[in-house]
Structure 1
Amino acid sequence: MILKRKIDLLLAKSNGAQLMWLLGLSVASLAIAIVVAQWVFDDGTIVWQDVVAVFLDPGCFGGAGAHDWFRLILALLSVFLFSALLVSVFTNLFENIREAAQVGERRYALRGHVLILGHCAQLPVMVRALNAQGRTVVVVDEERPEVDANFIFYKAARHSHADLATIGAERAAAIYVMGDADDPAHDTKNLKALAILDDLCRQAPQPVHCYVTLADYATIEVLQYQRKAGATGQLLVDTVNAYEYEAEQLLVGDTSPASGADSATASPAPSEAFLPVLRQGDERRAHIVIIGTGAMAQSVAYTVAHLCHYPNYAEGGRRTRITFIGEGMEAWQQHLVASRPALFALSHHTLVQADGHVVAHAPEGADFLDVEWQFVDAAPSAPMARRLLTPTPHEVLRVVVCQGDERQAINTALHLPRAVYGAAKLAVWLKRPSELVRRANLTGMYGHIEILGQGRGMQADPLFLRRSLRGMRVNFVYHRAYVNPQATDERQAWYAISEADKYSSIICGNALLVRQWCFEGHNHSEADRRAAYEAEHRRWVMSELIMGFRPAATTNKKVFEHADLVPFEELSAEEQGKDAILIDAMPYILYNVEC
């Protein structure tokens, strides 16, 4: 039984062991035949050359006629070994190789390939984009993903050191640590994968770029609070908030190809942008309504707060309003206020309770933030919510449905007040393309419903290249102005800073697109430039508050206190200049055009 089990195991292997065993058996059989011919048949009628000839070619059987029975045995043994067993072994070997490749058990000595760890909704777009660049793509996961594109599959757990040691990470050109954002252990697995990859790439022959997605705001906060210095090994890391990335692609996503090439027409025209475009003299305000709560709703809200800083605030005090609508909204408001106390202490925010009672908060002291918050405790179908969803002449309305249940989200998006479809832009968060939404858009009844997470922005920058490039240039402008005027390497400066500073730079780069749309005349007069500088400062203040800083008399970054969280006019000339250099460098940051 033991011998039978070992034979079965040998036949099932796909590493070529069967071929080696066949070779050994053949050599042994030939050796025995030669011994028999030389020492048993020692009359000289059959010599070792005859044995070899018959063994290698059974067609040589016959001829001399001496010892035909021995020649027959040799011929039959040869047919068995080389015709039957050899064909069977090769067939089995190739079949096992094919099956091993399909299930991801084969490994290849690749160089310059791109590794994608984990199966996320973005994976098909990423693989197709890499295919278009002619890159070799390896997807590493515990199950083979269904992706209609060219890739090599490695079966491995992204949080296993033993598994990752086999994938050739140190020879890769780039690594994307992805995973499903809905996995409760998403961030834990990705951070463990990052630590393993950092160890494996210590001896890499060249730097390896690594993008790591994170889904939990608590994880992002901890990494930012650490203010850890830049790369120390060969692994060059960029972290990406998975939900904020999707929000960015909706709100400021480009319509141009994702190659990262610069172009004077790289950003969408204002009419195509999802965000409102408000210029000087406009008497309307931006009103962004978010239906739902949770990680995506929070990401959309914070991304809007980073971006929507308009010139007409200084003229008429028109703040961007961010409204959350959903049941149980009081608990959601308390969660946000508790997580960002400094932000909400300086902000106007109101809670509209289910019975219509309004609880309002106004900032104590300086009142200079141009974003306000509203929380409405009502289902989107409730009369109170529908009144708030009806556009007015004094605002530019945008609606984003962020309910976790996709069927409920589509149902909500299709049953908003009729005026929304004609006067506002609408997006719904879905994890995969929807045939129902596509058909709804064809009817003309609903205007055009954008799919957050699957829309044009995601198609344009699926590899995080453009957003990182903008952030890199923002940092380089600052680096040359205040750190090293002779610096020439954007990437070297980029990977020397913390993830928090990278995040801040990326936010600034995205906001400059909106600044470009809304401050078209800023290059023509000092007054127009100053308005853009002020808006950039308000953007910076909002970003610092969201990242955990609070106002203080003196700056102490170790305890997250900053003295410059004040109105623009209270800044020193030197600090005002920091906003000015970024606005003045906008052509370079957005399009690599020296200015």
Structure 2
Amino acid sequence: MAKATTYIAVTGHRDLRPEDLPEIKVKVKEKLIQITRDKDLGTFRLLSGMAEGADQLVVEIAREIGIPSTAVLTAQNQTMELPKGLDRHILPVHNPSENEENYFEALGNHLLAEARHILVLWDGVYNGKRGGTSAVVKWALEGDYKLNLHHLVVPRSINPYPLASLLPKSLAFTQEKFHRIPFTVHFSWVEVALPLVKKEQFFKKIWNPIGRKLGSQVFLSFVLPMLLVLSTLALGTFGFLQILPNLDFHNALFMAVNLITFNNSVIENSAVPIALNLARYMGLLTALSAFTIALYFALGQERRRLKLIFWQRFYPHQYIVVLGAGEKSLTLVKDLCSCRKKVVVVSPEENQPFTSEIQGTGAIWVKGSTNAASLLKKIYHQKADEIYLLDEDDTNNVRTTLELDRISGNIPKRQRWFVHLQDSSLKTLLYSHLESSSRDRMHIFDICENTARRLQLFFPFDRFYQSPNAEQAMVVIVGFGKLGKEIALNALRLGHFPGKKRLKVRVFCHNAMAAREEFLNSYPVFNTHPKAHHLQELIADLWEKDSLEFYDLPQEDAARLSGKSPLFAEILQTKNTVSLYICLENDLNSGAYLSLLLPKLNRYKQQKDCNLQVFCYYKFPNKTEEKNTEYRLNQLAPEVPVRCFGNLLEECTASAIRDRALDALPRQIAYWYMQGYGDRSLEIDRVWQESSEQEKESNRHAADHLWVKLRSVWREIDWKFHPETFEPLLDPDIVAFHEKRLSQAEHRRWCAELLLQGFRPLQDEPGVMEAWEQWEAYWYKQGGKKILKAEKLHLDLRPFDALDEQEQQKDLDQIRTIPKMLQAIIRS
């Protein structure tokens, strides 16, 4: 019996750079060998459209390995000369007048329909070209195909700066692991397995609306009883006419009516027709349904309490409480209910659209104060598997958490609290006021912070490994709401690089002066007013004078598109890696604003060879609409990567909130620091649980910057991870050189973090420098460290070279521990 053939397809760019071909050949050959390992090569076949570039290159490599190949040709190239031994398959022609794009589209659909594996040699840019490489990827992701996408990240002649667009789909966050490093690396593979989902989707598409209607109150209260009554009458009438042939129709009908009241339900005749037996039971069901409906309405509000009792008793692992009303909580409730969770929502006010949508999901809505102990007990909060605190006001979430802490006497250990807080001071306050058991079950999160961290993890603004001649990372933010501020702050925390590379943040918003003053009030470290000597020197070392600039957002189209506008002048240059974030409060305005800019951005990128990526805040509550918008934006600028981000449908789901992968590396940092300078007997989970919220935040920032460090040295040391040791094989002198540079960068990052928290150098306190040795003794030996830190003073806020050898060694040890930490979180 002949074995089934496994098809491997290829799609990719025609304009691969000649200097990249040797590296691409090595990578493709390795991948083909991996796919076919330990199997008969004769059972595989490569499908290729035989275009110049990637198609022909992969065919050449497959033939070297011994994989049979087939050229899939269209009417336009069916007569092309093929290499000897290559099969030919001609796609049928439906319309001879079709243009070239239609042929490419037909080719792409054929490859996806036939292939089990598809090699994609792609720069990661969705350029909107019909039938192009990015279109094939888009169809694969959105269609009904069971295949494995193997994306080789490659530059091309018209775009030397590729990105790994499929990275977010390939990393296993729910397992707190990474399959690979989470940023784009030239000639690296990104793997995405696509399951066949059409049947499941079709079933859900048909059944879900039916299920919702069958479970509606109108159906259960009126439609179902009416159907039972009519069925009883029809079957009963027919049955009585069968058993009593001399009975007229009217008498048979009224005898059927008596079945509902059980008057004619007992029949002496032993040969009862099937129809009449069915009618008897239908009558019983009708009476029972009438009784049930009467009881249902008689119970009134007690129905909700009975439902809560039933849920918490029989579904303890699916019972979930959501406290607070708003867009975030509504999105979360919809997600939880779609996963068949039993959800109760508490909000203080009846917002009709909100409550109607909540009740439409199948959740129970309860009106009342989220921090009232009596109400929390009434909804059986102690039985919930998870509690989400999602009030729009941080103070309400803090008060509710404190109340939960106070009444949490018999709460099971498995219960988890997810508390949404944006104010860092409230995070610290809350953590310090909780019992240890409550701290263990609590997870504090911030939607905007998580969005910014994930976005800059996958698509970093410091792309010097792609553009080694670039001098600065340019972060341009249009709109300065909550999300815009978080992106700016994250950049200011992370933008500290080895060597002379610098960061510049340029903000465009309405009423820029007021926005600037508000920001400086929160973070006065960026204020240009004269400061104490050591603080001034430190700020100059961390952030140049012009590292943070505010500009009014141009209102007129002519001003927005002017080449002299600050939005274009000195930004789109070869010396910059540019990340443009359009995050106006109204997401539709973001899309409209970006649509106007993209054609010019596309031209400038090509003319000035600028490493540019664009991100558009878009939270339309429909993922299909978001994808279509992203696709249209990419069509306006085919050479510029444009991505939508910030959709609550992704950021406010239960899996995203529970997602602990972003904390996988911070946990490792906390653990290894404890191994070096604390209690070595503690397990990693206990170390993390006993860390304060401020310590957790610090470790998160250090973890995010670890990837900055790796990117900064990637081109120079080609840091390839050994699956067991993760050690780079380098000359010891080179290792020492990079360790020193990375240690300096880590210290600068740490200083920036403390300055953003409001800390000041101890050296600027009056009289300190005159008695420096006494203050050092007080800090290290006499318990002064804890006291002075409470005053937001720190002895080590100074340049790296001015640190004591012991403090320098701490930074150096963290750099040397990087391979161990990566080994713990990256699956080989």
Q: Which amino acid in the other structure matches residue 88 of structure 1?
A: A
The 8 Å contact of residues 221 and 547 in structure 1, kept in 2 or not, is answered as no
Alpha-carbon deviations, 1:287-343, whole Å to 9, x = none?
A: 0001122322211100111223223xx2xx331001111242122222222222235
Pair 1:375-2:550 in alignment? yes
Q: 2:451 aligns with which of 246, 251, 262?
A: 246
* Separation (CA, whole Å) in 2 of partners of 1:389 and 1:415: 20
Pair 1:90-2:292 in alignment? yes
In structure 1, the residue corresponding to 2:425 is in which secondary structure? helix
Q: Which amino acid in the other structure matches residue 403 of structure 1?
A: L
The 8 Å contact of residues 469 and 575 in structure 2, kept in 1 or not, is answered as no
Which residue of 2 is the match for residue 492 of structure 1? 686
* Separation (CA, whole Å) in 2 of partners of 1:506 and 1:496: 15
Q: 1:298 aligns with which of 470, 485, 496?
A: 485
Identity %: 17
- Output the TM-score relative to the length of structure 2: 0.51
* Separation (CA, whole Å) in 2 of partners of 1:111 and 1:390: 56
Which residue of 1 is the match for residue 592 of structure 2? 411
Relative to 1, partners in 2 of residues 1:226 and 1:106: Cα closer, same or farther, differing over 3 Å? closer
Q: Which amino acid in the other structure matches residue 449 of structure 1?
A: V
In structure 1, the residue corresponding to 2:378 is in which secondary structure? coil
Relative to 1, partners in 2 of residues 1:529 and 1:377: Cα closer, same or farther, differing over 3 Å? same
The 8 Å contact of residues 323 and 374 in structure 1, kept in 2 or not, is answered as yes
* Separation (CA, whole Å) in 1 of partners of 2:713 and 2:530: 25
Alpha-carbon deviations, 1:398-418, whole Å to 9, x = none?
A: 111122233322221112263
Q: Which amino acid in the other structure matches residue 809 of structure 2?
A: G
- Count residues in correspondence: 479
Q: Which amino acid in the other structure matches residue 323 of structure 2?
A: L
The 8 Å contact of residues 212 and 237 in structure 1, kept in 2 or not, is answered as yes
Which residue of 2 is the match for residue 111 of structure 1? 316
* Separation (CA, whole Å) in 2 of partners of 1:82 and 1:456: 46
Relative to 1, partners in 2 of residues 1:155 and 1:347: Cα closer, same or farther, differing over 3 Å? farther
Which residue of 2 is the match for residue 450 of structure 1? 643
Which residue of 2 is the match for residue 208 of structure 1? 415
* Separation (CA, whole Å) in 2 of partners of 1:533 and 1:220: 27
Q: Shift of residue 141 of structure 1?
A: 4.2
Q: Shift of residue 124 of structure 1?
A: 8.1
Which residue of 1 is the match for residue 389 of structure 2? 177
Q: How does 1:327-476 map to 2 (within 5 A)?
A: 327-344=510-527, 364-366=536-538, 367-370=540-543, 372-379=547-554, 382=559, 383=562, 384-388=565-569, 390-416=571-597, 418-421=599-602, 422=605, 423=610, 424-432=612-620, 434-435=625-626, 437-441=629-633, 443-445=635-637, 447-454=640-647, 458=651, 461-476=656-671
Q: Shift of residue 463 of structure 1?
A: 2.4
* Separation (CA, whole Å) in 2 of partners of 1:194 and 1:572: 42
Alpha-carbon deviations, 1:454-486, whole Å to 9, x = none?
A: 299848844231123332222222222222011
Which residue of 2 is the match for residue 199 of structure 1? 406
Q: Which amino acid in the other structure matches residue 748 of structure 2?
A: R
Q: Shift of residue 493 of structure 1?
A: 2.1
Q: Which amino acid in the other structure matches residue 577 of structure 1?
A: Q
* Separation (CA, whole Å) in 2 of partners of 1:129 and 1:83: 35
Q: Shift of residue 87 of structure 1?
A: 4.4
Alpha-carbon deviations, 1:413-458, whole Å to 9, x = none?
A: 1122634344521112233355462342452536443223129984
Q: Shift of residue 509 of structure 1?
A: 1.8
Q: Shift of residue 518 of structure 1?
A: 2.8
The range that moved more, 206-215 or 584-593, is: 584-593
Which residue of 2 is the match for residue 220 of structure 1? 424
Q: 1:567 aligns with which of 788, 799, 813?
A: 799
Alpha-carbon deviations, 1:186-231, whole Å to 9, x = none?
A: 213222221222223232131533221123xxx3234447882774
Which residue of 1 is the match for residue 234 of structure 2? none
Comparing both chains, which one has the higher relative contact order based on Cα–Cα distances under 8 Å and sequence gaps of 6 or more? 1
* Separation (CA, whole Å) in 1 of partners of 2:469 and 2:395: 47
- Output the TM-score relative to the length of structure 1: 0.69
Q: Which amino acid in the other structure matches residue 89 of structure 1?
A: F
Pair 1:513-2:513 in alignment? no
Pair 1:547-2:757 in alignment? yes
In structure 2, the residue corresponding to 1:427 is in which secondary structure? strand
Q: 1:310 aligns with which of 497, 506, 516?
A: 497
Q: Which amino acid in the other structure matches residue 461 of structure 2?
A: L
* Separation (CA, whole Å) in 2 of partners of 1:105 and 1:389: 63
The 8 Å contact of residues 164 and 196 in structure 1, kept in 2 or not, is answered as no
Relative to 1, partners in 2 of residues 1:393 and 1:593: Cα closer, same or farther, differing over 3 Å? closer
Q: Shift of residue 172 of structure 1?
A: 3.5
Q: Shift of residue 533 of structure 1?
A: 1.7
Alpha-carbon deviations, 1:88-117, whole Å to 9, x = none?
A: 222344688999889996442242344443
Gaps of 5+ in 2: 1-219, 221-260, 269-282, 348-353, 720-727, 764-774, 776-784
The 8 Å contact of residues 118 and 139 in structure 1, kept in 2 or not, is answered as no
